[in-house]
């Protein structure tokens, strides 16, 4: 562990001023940042503690009927909050599928959005990694690829290739809910649509999101539509706890009788950001919620997927997961109970 300075910011402007340095970093729960520092992936010479910033430390109703999540409260508090359990149960299920109880009680909502990939090569500073050191190469290509991306990645011969995936469960649900991320920084306040918050690697794989230097996530807004009646979160992984997703799917449905009025589907574990394809969702509108229709939508959503020798199985797995999760969303009271194993 390298030496670093530590200060507690007492207001947002003070934190923004201190966080503008090239080697500074904000710390709240620290569940990812401290690991990165221990592995020498991140070298922060100055940590600014933002846990003590003034403001509403709760989850509150917005005037538009939606809900605002404070960025500094824990994932655990969020998952069990009555407003979330009753109105956004998809978010509750996604959060509880991630990490462990101890980590969820430390990790903050804002920090969840900012966590970095768990790619083995990103964490191994002795290997080339374009995300860690742009221009050095991607060790995952030609290496062990079981956990890597099948969609939205940058492949060879691009000299900024990156096939890492974004690990969050919470963010897959936020993508379906079409959340809005509120931030404050040196240039003032702004709101970012969730679909625009995270980035695909492109030519700049070192950047995970569109935050500017010094900006702080202050809150996350959820719209009134929470898919509280028909929803499902399915996480497929090597073991049933404390493991990152091979493939995860969040599905929200609005039904009129036996037909789909609206659907949103987002995937995790397959790309550099939560993966949504509007054309696949539009295909399902007005159709009955059958395995055949979900399978046809899955083909549209997974179109263009590219697998390597160790992760090619994820292409078919993702398609099957979309179908299974769509059917699970029809009866969430049975399929989304803790410990439930749907057929």
pLDDT tens digit sequence for 22-61: 889 999 999 999 999 999 999 999 999 999 888 778 999 9
Which of 8-17, 265-274, 295-304 shows the lowest mean pLDDT across its residues? 8-17
Mean predicted confidence (pLDDT) in 56-81 = 94
Mean predicted confidence (pLDDT) in 212-228 = 97
Q: Minimal CA–CA distance to 162: which of 147, 148, 176?
A: 148
For residue 283, the model assigns a pLDDT of 98
pLDDT tens digit sequence for 126-159: 999 999 999 999 999 999 999 999 999 998 767 8
For residue 205, the model assigns a pLDDT of 96
84 in Cβ contact with 67 (< 8 Å) = yes
pLDDT at 341 over 50: no
Number of residues that make up the chain: 343
For residue 188, the model assigns a pLDDT of 96
Angle between helices 291-301 and 313-328 (to 10 degrees): 140
Mean predicted confidence (pLDDT) in 289-308 = 98
Mean per-residue pLDDT of the chain: 95
For residue 22, the model assigns a pLDDT of 83
For residue 156, the model assigns a pLDDT of 74
* Confidence label for 339 from pLDDT (cuts 50, 70 and 90): low
Mean predicted confidence (pLDDT) in 184-190 = 96
For residue 159, the model assigns a pLDDT of 80
For residue 21, the model assigns a pLDDT of 82
Q: Is 8 exposed, middle or buried (0-12, 13-18, 19+ CB in 10 A)?
A: middle
Which of 22-26, 195-199, 319-323 shows the lowest mean pLDDT across its residues? 22-26
Mean predicted confidence (pLDDT) in 223-230 = 98
Stated pTM of the model:
0.96
For residue 343, the model assigns a pLDDT of 44
* Confidence label for 313 from pLDDT (cuts 50, 70 and 90): very high
165 in Cβ contact with 149 (< 8 Å) = yes
pLDDT tens digit sequence for 160-184: 999 999 999 999 999 999 999 999 9
275 in Cβ contact with 195 (< 8 Å) = no
């Amino acid at each position: 562990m390298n030496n670093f300075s530590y200060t507690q910011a007492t207001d947002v402007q003070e934190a923004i001023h201190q966080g503008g340095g090239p080697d500074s970093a904000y710390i709240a729960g620290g569940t990812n940042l401290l690991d990165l520092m221990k592995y020498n992936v991140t070298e922060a010479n100055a940590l600014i503690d933002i846990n003590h910033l003034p403001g509403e430390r709760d989850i509150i109703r917005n005037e538009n009927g939606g809900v605002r999540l404070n960025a500094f409260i824990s994932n655990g508090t969020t998952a069990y909050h009555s407003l979330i359990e009753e109105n956004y149960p998809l978010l509750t299920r996604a959060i509880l599928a991630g990490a462990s109880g101890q980590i969820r009680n430390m990790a903050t909502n804002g920090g969840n959005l900012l966590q970095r990939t768990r790619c083995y090569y990103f964490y191994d500073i002795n290997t080339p990694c374009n995300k860690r050191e742009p221009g050095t190469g991607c060790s995952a290509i030609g290496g062990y690829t079981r956990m890597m991306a099948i969609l939205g990645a940058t492949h060879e011969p691009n000299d900024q290739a990156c096939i890492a995936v974004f690990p969050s469960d919470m963010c897959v649900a936020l993508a379906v809910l079409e959340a809005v991320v509120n931030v404050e920084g040196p240039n003032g306040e702004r709101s970012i649509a969730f679909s625009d918050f995270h980035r695909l690697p492109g030519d700049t794989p070192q950047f995970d999101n569109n935050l500017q230097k010094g900006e702080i996530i202050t809150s996350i807004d959820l719209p009134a539509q929470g898919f509280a009646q028909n929803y499902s979160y399915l996480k497929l992984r090597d073991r049933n706890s404390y493991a990152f997703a091979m493939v995860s799917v969040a599905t929200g449905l609005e039904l009129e009788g036996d037909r789909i009025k609206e659907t949103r589907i987002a995937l995790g574990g397959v790309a550099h950001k939560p993966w949504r394809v509007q054309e696949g969702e539009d295909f399902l509108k007005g159709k009955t919620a059958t395995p055949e229709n979900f399978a046809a939508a899955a083909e549209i959503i997974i179109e263009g997927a590219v697998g390597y020798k160790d992760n090619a199985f994820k292409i078919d797995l993702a398609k099957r997961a979309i179908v299974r999760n769509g059917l699970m969303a029809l009866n969430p009271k049975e399929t989304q109970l803790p410990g439930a194993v749907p057929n």
